[in-house]
Amino acid sequence: MTALRNYSLVTGAYWGFTLTDGALRMLVLLHFHSLGYSALQIAFLFLFYEFFGILTNLVGGWLGSHFGLKVTLFSGLALQILALTLLALLQPDWSATISVAYVMTAQALSGIAKDLTKMSSKSAIKLLVPAGEEGLLFKWVAILTGSKNALKGAGFFLGGLLLGWLGFRLSLLVMAGGLLLIILVAGTTLPRQMGRAKTGIKFSRILSKSRNINLLSAARMFLFGSRDVWFVVGLPVFLASTLGWSHPQVGGFMALWVIGYGAIQALAPKLLRSCLGDRLPHGGTASLAAFSLVLLTALIATGVGLSLPAWLTVIAGLALFGIFFAINSAIHSYLILAYADTENVAVDVGFYYMANAAGRLGGTLLSGLMFQNFGLTGCLWLSVLLLTAAGGLSRFLPGRALATP
């Protein structure tokens, strides 16, 4: 019961953060798009968010092993409160250059916060699941990751709604207050030593990984780059500028996409059971799932390039992309915990999510660049190339499920 209670507390804290994280992204994107910023300028607003996520994941696992995952989890929540408060102080009469630099700095804090919180939450699951319970590990990580993505989608909708209802500044302050309440409620309950290594871990250990973790991390980088290259800037700007959708409509579609993606991710163990039986996912599963996305994305890109109806390509096509991508992501999220060393789980998971953040950084920057020069079609064809790399790397992972070390 203690493990279940702690799992619920960690999940609840992660849920609260994720809701504000999704809302913040949509607030910033739609607010600055309405001010006339170009797709590439908007992409730069999120550049530090992703870049500092890379550094945070690289160092965050080592910090979690030394100070405990409770410290890194609530440090992430506190930094998000600071980022939201700083953005609320943004003044409308500042020049575009000053505004962009200021928002990039605040987004850097939010990026650090996001990856401290994610690394801490997912590492904690490895410690809370009894040794040898691989099926339960897959189930719990799928539930956490899937529910997180569903709430991030709800955050997209919330961001679009709050922007029209409360405005930019007041929306940010309301979200900061909600996170403060989470810290006060959950901060006194979780065990202080959770995730703290029994012996000191050398700092050089953060780059010393097994072959499986290195390969999986590289595949993860290309996988998430393939999503964000069209999702972060290209798609919302396309919906707003080309299709003429309003802010609530854009936020609502993005929200529904991520909510559906999260629901499929949470159900991934059941969906895969129909294909794998009692076997757990392995490298071959990850490779096949990635190459399925290659074919689907190529079809969507072809449809958009031929100017087929938007409901068929953008709406239905990207909905199918979300289903296949969710299964891919769930497989990866399980494999990293299966490959990670129990004693140094925070360090291994931190390294893996550093690669995840690197993929998001590259995808974010390329999303603005490709959309500005080649439109949504160019974003999607680049996604095909990145997915091909992810599938190719996954072929070198073990062809059977591994027991937890």
The residue type at 208: S
State the Cα–Cα distance between residues 73 and 64, nearest whole angstrom: 9
Residue 104: other Cβ atoms inside 10 A:
17
| Residue 179 parent element (H or E) | helix 168-186
pLDDT of 316 above 80: yes
pLDDT band, very low/low/confident/very high, at 205 (cuts 50, 70, 90): low
Dihedral sign for Cα atoms in the order 376, 382, 388, 389 = negative
State the Cα–Cα distance between residues 282 and 300, nearest whole angstrom: 28
**Least confident among 92-96, 169-173, 302-306:** 92-96
357 and 60 Cβ atoms separated by less than 8 Å = no
* Overall fold of domain 2-190+206-394: Growth Hormone; Chain: A; (1.20.1250)
pLDDT of 264 above 80: yes
State the Cα–Cα distance between residues 305 and 243, nearest whole angstrom: 15
The radius of gyration of the chain's CA atoms, rounded to the nearest angstrom, is 20
Residue 4: other Cβ atoms inside 10 A:
10
Secondary structure string (H, E, C) spanning 248-284: HHHHHHHHHHHHHHHHHHHHHHHHHHHHHCCCCCCHH
State the Cα–Cα distance between residues 401 and 125, nearest whole angstrom: 19
Half-sphere exposure of 196 (CA within 13 A, CB side): 10
53 and 119 Cβ atoms separated by less than 8 Å = no
Question: What token pair was written down for 13?
Answer: 């804290």
Measured between its terminal Cα atoms, the distance across the chain in Å is: 24
When comparing pLDDT for 369 and 153, which is higher? 369
State the Cα–Cα distance between residues 278 and 396, nearest whole angstrom: 23
Question: What token pair was written down for 261?
Answer: 């993606």
118 Cα distance to chain centroid: 9
Q: Report percent pLDDT > 70 for the chain.
A: 84
pLDDT of 207 above 70: no
Q: How far is CA 351 from CA 30, 65, 72, in A?
A: 32, 13, 15
In tens, the pLDDT along 124-153 reads: 776 666 666 667 777 777 777 777 777 877
pLDDT of 3 above 50: yes
Query: Would you report the helix, strand and coil content of the chain in percent, each value rounded to 5?
Result: 80, 0, 20
Residue 161, C-beta contacts closer than 8 angstroms, at least 6 positions apart: 248, 251
**Which pLDDT belongs to residue 325?**
92
DSSP secondary structure code for residue 316 in this structure: I
State the Cα–Cα distance between residues 372 and 311, nearest whole angstrom: 22
The residue type at 3: A
pLDDT of 404 above 50: no
Residue that is written with structure tokens 């700095």 in the block = 105
Instruction: Give mean pLDDT, residues 190-206.
Output: 56
State the Cα–Cα distance between residues 152 and 171, nearest whole angstrom: 16
**Which pLDDT belongs to residue 175?**
92
Give this prediction's pTM.
0.72
pLDDT of 181 above 80: yes
State the Cα–Cα distance between residues 37 and 104, nearest whole angstrom: 14
pLDDT of 68 above 60: yes
